[in-house]
Structure 1
Amino acid sequence: MPDQHPAPSAFSSAGDPHRVAVLVRDGLLTMELGIVHRLFGQALSPAGEPLYEVLTCTPDPGDLRTDADVTVHVAQGTDLLAEADTVIVPASDEDYTPRAAPRLAPATAKALHRIRPGARVASICTGSFVLAAAGLLDGKRATTHWRSAADLQRLHPRVRVDPDVLYTDDGGVLTAAGVASGIDLCLHMIRADHGSRVANEVARGTVVPPHRDGGQAQYIPLPVTPPRRSSTEPARTWALEHLDRPVSLRELADRAGMSTRTFSRRFREEAGQTPVQWLTGQRVDRARRLLEETDLPVDRVAAAVGFGTAVSLRQHLHAALGVSPSAYRATFRGAGGPRGAAVTDADGRRPA
C-alpha cells in the first residue's frame, strides 16, 4: 500500500475541486453512500461553486446489491482512485460476519493499491475492516461500530482500536464509528479543508448538528432502569453559558440537583465522557471558532474560553489537534476563515 501522509490541500490543483472517490462493494449500505455525496456536495465556495467533486467507483462496475430492496448501478472502475485526493470506503454487509483471520478480497486489495501516495483515506462504520486488512491502520488509532470493535481489535492487533469515539483522524487516515458517525466524519473533513463556516453551512443544510458531544458509549444498550426524574442537560446548558470562568463539579451537580457522585455517573451515561473531558472539549471547540473567526489575540481567546492563559490554551489545543493556536489560525484563515484578517501570535503580534 502507498505511504499515507497528512491530508492534501482543499483543492486538487489550480483551484480545481477536491476530488473525493467513494469505493463501494457488493452489499453496500445505501445510506453511507448517500451521506458522502450529500455532505460534500453541499460544500460551496463564497461564489457558490462546488468545493468537491464526488465520484463513486467499484472493482467490478455494474449493478451492486445493497442492504435495501434496490440495486445501485456504478459505472466507474477503480482507476479513478489514482487521481483522488480523498478515498472513502463505506461499509458492506459482508463486514458484519467476523472472520477467523484478516482477509481482503483480491479485487479490493488491487483497488486500494491504486490510491496515490499522500491521498487522505477514510472509512465509515465497518469499512474500517478493509483499511485494517490492507495495513493502513497499523499503529494508528481507529474506531468502528461498537458491536464490531472487539472483532477489529482481535483480527488486527496492530490497530489501536478506540471503541468509545465517534471518529478518529490519525495522520490522514480516518475512521467513523457507525452510519450516522459518517456524517460527523464528513463534516470534520470539510471543516479541516475549509474551516467551520463552510462545515456549519453544510450541517445547517443537512439539518444536523455541526458537532456532536460524547462518544459511542451513550449508544450502547444499558440495563433497563426506572425513569429518571432529573438530567445533566441543565448543567451542560449552564456551563456553555459560563465557559469563560472556572466551572467546578460541585456547581454542575448543584445545577442538576444531584450529589457530585450521582452527577458524575449520570453525566458519563448521558454524554459518554466525564464532566472534565466534556468541559475541556467544549472549550477547545469554542477556541477553534474564535481563532478562525475573530482577530482576538491568543491570550484573549484563552481567557474567553476559560483556559486562562495562552500557555494553557496552547497545551490543550496541541493535545486535541496536534497544533499550536497560531498554526491553527494560520491554517484555517488560509483555508476557509475570514479573508484579509490579521493573524496574531500569543502576544498579539503578527508573525513574521
Structure 2
Amino acid sequence: MNKTKIRWGILGCGNVTEVKSGPAYQKTEGFEVVAVMRRDAGKAADYAKRHGIPKYYSDADALINDEEVDAVYIATPPDSHKRYALKVAAAGKPCCIEKPMAPSYADSLEVEQAFAKKNIPLFVAYYRRSLPRFLKVKEWLDTHQIGEVRHIRWFLGKPPNEVDLSGQYNWRTDAQVAPGGYFDDLASHGLDLFAYLLGDFDEAYGTALNQQGLYTAKDAITGHWLHKKGITGSGTWNFGTHQREDLVEIYGSEGKIGFSVFEEADVVLVNAKGEKRLFIAHPEHVQQFHVENLREDLFGGKSHPSTGKTALHTSWVMDRILGSL
C-alpha cells in the first residue's frame, strides 16, 4: 500500500483482542486502530474507551465502509468470517482474519478467491509462523539437526471444562459454527504450523466422532497425513481426557525435536550431540510479531508467512481429517 500509516478497524472486539492481538495493532509502528465494532454497542463503546480508540460501531457494514478505515481485522466467531470477509473484499481493503479462515474448505476457498481476484492482500492469524519459539524449531529442521525428517506426531488432550459439563452455550462446540469443536479452534494452529515447518500436505484423512455427547460438535479426532516431502504424520485430539497434554515430536534419521503447540514449555532437540532444551518466551501480546510482519508485507518489505493461500491449505487439511472432503 502506498501509505505511511495504515488505519485498522477491528470487527469483533472480544477476549482474543484484549491482550493477544488488539494492542499489537496499536503498538506496531505505521499502524493505528481507529475503529472497533461489536454487535453490543455498549461493549463496543467500553472497549474503545479502555483502549483509546476514537470510534466504535455496532454495525459491521458501517466500519467496513468507513473511509477512515484502510484495512480490517476480523476477530468474530468463524461462522461469520466468510460473510464479513466478502464485504471487506468488495470494499477493496486488505484484511486479516482470525483462524480458522472459515468453518469449511468451501467457504475458505470462496474468501481466498474473492481477494485474489481483486489482488487485495489477505492474511490469516496463524501467528505461530511468526513466533521465535517455533522459528527455532524451523531453524533446527532447515539445518538438518535431526537429519532427514521421517515422521511427525501430535497428541492434544484436555478434560471437559465447566461450560462443557453444564451444557451452557459455547460457540466453539456448536457444530453450526465450528463442526470440529475444539479441533477447529486448536488443531488448526498446529496443522498450519506443521505445513510451515515441513511443507504442504499431499494427503490427509481421519476419523471424527462425538464420544461424550456433551455438545453437538466433534470431540474425538484422529488424523493421518503425508507431507509433499514424503514425511508421514499422525495426530490425535481428544477433548475428554483426564488431564491436559500437548506434545509434538518430530523424528528424523539422526534425532528428534519435541515441543508443545500451546503450553509454555521448552523446545527440545535430541541428537548425537546430546539433548538441548531452550525456553523461548512469547511476547506480551502473542500476535505482536505476526502483526509486525503484516506491516512489512503491506509496506512492501517482505511477504507474510500466513496468507489466504496458506490458510486455505490448512482448511483443506482440516476438512480432510474431519471427513468433510
The TM-score normalised by the length of structure 2 is 0.30
Hey, which of these two has a bigger chunk of strand by percent?
A: 2
> Higher relative contact order by CA 8 Å / sep ≥ 6: 1 or 2?
2
Q: Rg larger in 1 or in 2?
A: 1
Q: Name the structure with the higher helix share.
A: 1
